[in-house]
Structure 1
């Protein structure tokens, strides 16, 4: 067990060194969340008058949504890194060593989780500077970050599995583009569930992206619904475990094909 953890951390460090050599990348990935936060926050700030948002400030409502959307957007492209490893032959060389097959995939997942946590904290701080209020305090923020990391793990692991299966950039780009907008807008990212059409609200109940938003928003509220937090958080955890298991299975299947 300790060997697998050590190997996973080694693979994670490989990914982190890439980011350390290109610090501008970390800044660039925050541009879109900042646009969502302040452009959408200003454009729709009066929409809270419709009711159902649980706050009088749209920015308060929007911050958890932007944190979760940022985690989703970043994790869905994790498979591109896996595809690069395949095309450069790096993965094949690792497969000739005794390194754990789980470590080969989970290093990317752990790296994605660390980056997601960093981005989430930055977005929360930017929201605070913009005037957002977090009645749930530090504990609520921690739960929001954990929810975003779990969501990132789900889609990061699935993206890795996709990269192992399709092995084409165009396919990954097409699938991600197809899924990103429905996953975002069939959730409570921008609109309170009370203001959504009934059919959209029912679909959102089964959307993992919305689970993370519900858990995070509730934990950050003045009176958290811990049933909702634990229920959605537990569902995300179970889905993350299943996605990681699937990604490990795909690397073993890939090994048999080469």
Structure 2
């Protein structure tokens, strides 16, 4: 009975010729290759979808910035400026720069995690602009940086921060910070590709970030420091960015600080961008 059924099914199947198989495999024109902008935006959207499915990733751009603003304002405000309300005018632009710059390290951590999962093996087979994968990571993180900035500004306004530069000055300061953070994140993409584990990426990033952020003019003016320390602080890229953001929000001309901040951004992309892509192509 089963033999007869098998024979009947085999007779009902249409024979597959070489010509018909070729028509199935080569059916129509190949899809158009996506542009560099389209591919980058697609990977940026992928980074934002990861935040949607794992909302705990927003903890470092919500709770952490609020804690930083409140802690440093009320801890140092009375000792350094006489009152927290006076100190917040100087502190908030600087602590905003510090918080956003510190969370840039998670870009490298995300890259390292995807490498360990094997996701990059699939990405490298796609007919896309090679840097779009890295650019997409950075574009997705720009949303996180913007959220952190809004949260800190909201908390600052509640406890007494009043920017004399108005809305335009605040927007200009945040935009400058986002540009610098985008450039600075290329450093961590390089370490994400270079180091073996995500813990190694976080360890190296903390070793770099703590001296850069604390040895700057974020908390106090460099004039109060020893001469040998002023030499480092005055040439620290974080000092240039914090000073430019502070001046823009205060409604005063940032002068050379703005040029230095933009120059550092260009230099970081020019140096670490090619190094990152070289590691990406070889890894």
Distance (Å, rounded) in 2 between the aligned partners of 1:4 and 1:147: 24
Distance (Å, rounded) in 1 between the aligned partners of 2:249 and 2:160: 15
Distance (Å, rounded) in 2 between the aligned partners of 1:222 and 1:97: 47
Q: Is the 8 A contact 1:219 1:226 kept in 2?
A: no
**What TM-score do the two structures reach when normalised by structure 1?**
0.88
Aligned: 1:118 with 2:147: yes
Aligned: 1:66 with 2:113: no
- Give 1:135-154 correspondences, 5 Å limit: 135-154=164-183
Cα gap change, 1:131 to 1:56, in 2 (>3 Å): closer
Gaps of 5+ in 1: none
- Give 1:1-258 correspondences, 5 Å limit: 3-49=35-81, 57-254=86-283
C-alpha deviations, 1:143-198, integer Å up to 9, x for none?
22123213322332111111111232232122122122211111111111222222
Gaps of 5+ in 2: 1-32
Superposition deviation, residue 76 in structure 1: 1.4
Cα gap change, 1:249 to 1:2, in 2 (>3 Å): same
Cα gap change, 1:92 to 1:127, in 2 (>3 Å): same
Which structure has the greater CA radius of gyration? Answer: 2
C-alpha deviations, 1:23-48, integer Å up to 9, x for none?
34314432222122111101111244
Distance (Å, rounded) in 2 between the aligned partners of 1:227 and 1:143: 16
Superposition deviation, residue 199 in structure 1: 2.1
Q: Is the 8 A contact 2:44 2:137 kept in 1?
A: yes
Distance (Å, rounded) in 2 between the aligned partners of 1:75 and 1:175: 13
Distance (Å, rounded) in 2 between the aligned partners of 1:221 and 1:196: 24
Distance (Å, rounded) in 2 between the aligned partners of 1:216 and 1:177: 23
Distance (Å, rounded) in 2 between the aligned partners of 1:240 and 1:214: 21
Q: Is the 8 A contact 2:35 2:128 kept in 1?
A: no
C-alpha deviations, 1:82-136, integer Å up to 9, x for none?
1111111110111111122110111011112221122112211211111111001
Q: How many aligned residue pairs are there?
A: 250
C-alpha deviations, 1:55-100, integer Å up to 9, x for none?
9711111111121111111111211111111111110111111122
